[in-house]
Structure 1
Amino acid sequence: MNELVVETDGLTKRYGDRLAVDRVSMTVKRGEVYGFLGPNGAGKTTTLRMMLGLIRPTAGSASVLGRPAGRPEVTARIGALIEGPGFYPYLNGRDNLRTMARYQGLPDAEVDRVLEMVDLSSRSRDAFKGYSLGMKQRLGVAAAMLGSPDLLVLDEPTNGLDPAGMADMRALVVSLAAAGQTVLLSSHLLAEVQEICDRVGVIDQGRLLRESTVAELRGGATLRIRATPEDTALAVVMRMAGDEGVRRVGNEWLEVDLPASAAPDVVRHLVSRSVDVHEVTVAERSLEDAFFEMTSTGAGEELVS
């Protein structure tokens, strides 16, 4: 699990005066789902293109599967969907994949396998030009999966999918990782990343702000307590959690930096001081909350939960 599949060191891309990617150093481990998170225009796609050898970095380096990015022997072990999928419009979905499979020396059975995995078998003989955006996206993911590559790079794979399709795609990504493949998933959908990714890299304005597990980025759970009289309740919980471990939230709530397991003890202490406890809940910070704390308001407004 600790073997590195992707490693970048100071990866930088400049277009004239515009710095699109600024010294990004990140790692992706074998068998994990890595979420590459950031608002539109943050530099996600440019970084992925450099990893795949599609564009050259201005500075820095990227290695994939232990070799420099872009080498033919590396590219053969990667499946990728970057931005919108491109296919022959007058061929049907299956024939588009058959064409790609032949370039890779793969049999038609492999085409049927990936079509089934993305739930597109029943529409595989329809012309690509008549596909909806979601169907095109499914076909693009199927193309990336041809030959069971070691690394899958998926740029916004749920784009255009309805809620059921998004759920299916999330389940597919998790199953691929469980089977041993590594998935690098680029997305601006925070709830999606929170649900399926093992680790995340947060990029904004071309710079990697943080790389960690989802749990570390979200932080631990806290207790929220609604009790009266509030002054007495505040004094009690401050003795238990410390002066810096208690905050007022709104007009009625106290947020306390204690784990959920401490709730019974907190309630006992409050009741012993004649405090009426109206409600105790466990509050967990979402990935969206964590992201907004790290980025500017302008960048955060482009993200959805």
Structure 2
Amino acid sequence: MHPAPSVIFFSVLSGAGFGLLTLLGFGARATSQGWPAFVFFAVGFVLAVGGLLSATLHLANPKNAIYSFSQWRTSWLSREGISAVAALSLMGLYAALIIFFDIRVAPLGYVAGALCLFTVFTTAMIYTQIKAVPRWHQPLATPALFLSYALTGGALLAGAVAHAGFLFLLTALIQLWHWNGGDKAFRNAGTNMNTATGLKGAVRQFESPHTGDNYLLKEMVYVVGRKHAFKLRIIALLFAALIPSFMMLGEVKHLGALIAVALYFTGTFASRWLFFAEAEHVVGLYYGKR
């Protein structure tokens, strides 16, 4: 799949933002109030809302984004939009009570935090449900991947060092699990020219369907070299998980925290770019790309 920058920025930034808001809702930084609380909540809202807005850049007509709310019965995209609005609204009320009145309504925080986490889950399900992309169609691994990155980033931004160290290692394991399953997914799906045509024997193309590129080739058939993919996997593992996890073992001060955040986002962007670039759509069989 073509790795669109707007979707990559959306999933990474909104994931970290909703992860931070989730932990704040569940009681992280419980001693903060006034301006300190405002800063943490503001970072979460800026990342979450900024990520959601960047997703509209991928639309041919961003004004049509409003229609994504109307198909909640069948569309995970619609559920994502509705849950995001509900989560941000309740979290905004929870944050306002803490910042301006020093009132912490724990049940409200739990509900808002759960909705933030559910929003990340709905984002993951947008991709998980697509059977035509076997690498994404991992009902357990893909949602776990999105949730682990979101919670890890949230713990890091919230300064929950003890939780972040564990989550970094957990994210690394889930990332390896997703890569391992994804590398075998297309083959295990059993989709080939025979299943596509219903014919038996050795089925091959007589000639290419098109003489030039088209939309499907541009968006659905993207090839990344194995050498480059391997390097990016190493970068993703080291920067988004392993190096920050070792940093969490010692005393983390302001400079160390900034470095850990920079490493996390660098590794997460690499991982998310690969999430799209390595995904193979079955339509590629029609063009003889596999």
TM-score (normalised: structure 1): 0.27
Instruction: Indicate the structure (1 or 2) with the bigger Cα radius of gyration.
Output: 1
TM-score (normalised: structure 2): 0.28
Structure in which a larger fraction of residues adopt helix: 2
Structure in which a larger fraction of residues adopt strand: 1
Q: Kindly indicate whether structure 1 or structure 2 has the higher relative contact order, using CA contacts under 8 Å at least 6 residues apart.
A: 2
